[in-house]
Amino acid sequence: MRKFARALWIVGMFLAVAAPAQEATVQGTVHVNHHTLFVLSSGIEKLTPEERAEAISRRLQVIANSPPGSIETRLENSEEGVQILIGNQVIVTVTASDAKAQGITTQELAAQWAETIKGGITQSSKEEAWRTTLQRVLLSILIFGVAIGLVILLRRARRVLAAGLHARRERIPAIRFRGLQLVSPASIVRTLGRLLWLIFVGASIVVGVTALLLVFAQIPETRGYTYQIFLWMWDPFVAIVRGALGYLPNLFYILVIVFVARAASSASSRGSMPTWRGRRRRSSRHW
């Protein structure tokens, strides 16, 4: 029994000594893009070292993700210690506890952290710029590849339609009115072929311009101009589509008139043939 009580006393003493040591070793790591800048061993106000380091890391990450530029840090004294600022934003306040843990003065530690922050953000910005450039290049290659593929598909579709039109050229009837041929089948085939060519060229231009707009839209400096050009192209396109849709009833009336004219022409030609033959017979009898 005495041995068991002694064992419990030893375990209790060990836990009592280890608990403060564990609390003292709690630290927070300040990082930018997974690069460690420095370690905090003390909190501030109601923030633990981890919470304080997380708040500092968020501020630095926002600055690192901003457009690249010169990073200038400066130091200012305050009641809590020495503040490290970038622009007008306070990044971190170096306290006496931080300096005591490092064994140097507060001013010296603030100068070291300021240089570390400046170098870390600069390196992170370079890596982010390189990563962004690589992504833009790969995306641009993909956009141009899709655009070229669409143009090839459009070209093949035009060739298939042109070949089908050429194969059926003998079946296409001429447009006549009262027995007079207005448009020959050859003219219809040529006109439809030119129309297919114009549609192919227009669609290819639209695909090419859209690809260029998507590429330039990735660059922040040209993004606004890209959207403006897109609006300039979109408004006329919408107006053309609306005009074409509004013209459909008129096109329907024209097709009805052409159909009725062709039907009347066929009926009149069929009705005039017996009369012409009868006149020819009477004239042959007279002679």
Q: How many CB atoms lie under 10 A from the CB of residue 207? A: 18
d(CA 122, CA 66): 11
pLDDT of res. 144: 93
Look up tokens 């002679």; give the residue. Answer: 287
Q: What is the DSSP string of 202-269?
A: HHHHHHHHHHHHHHHTTSHHHHHHHHHHHHHHHHHHHHHHHHHHHHHHHHHHHHHHHHHHHHHHHHHH
Report residue 68's pLDDT band, with 50, 70 and 90 as the boundaries.
Answer: low
pLDDT (tens digit per residue) in 242-282:
877 787 777 777 777 767 766 666 666 555 545 444 554 55
User: pLDDT at residue 101 above 70?
Assistant: yes
Mean pLDDT, the chain, whole residue set: 79
Mean pLDDT of 219-241: 80
User: pLDDT at residue 65 above 50?
Assistant: yes
pLDDT (tens digit per residue) in 104-162:
999 999 999 999 988 888 888 888 788 888 999 999 999 999 999 999 999 999 999 88
d(CA 28, CA 42): 8
**Is the Cβ–Cβ distance between 95 and 40 less than 8 Å?**
no
Mean pLDDT of 207-221: 88
Look up tokens 């400046």; give the residue. Answer: 118
Q: What is the DSSP string of 168-184?
A: TTTTSPPEEETTEEEE-
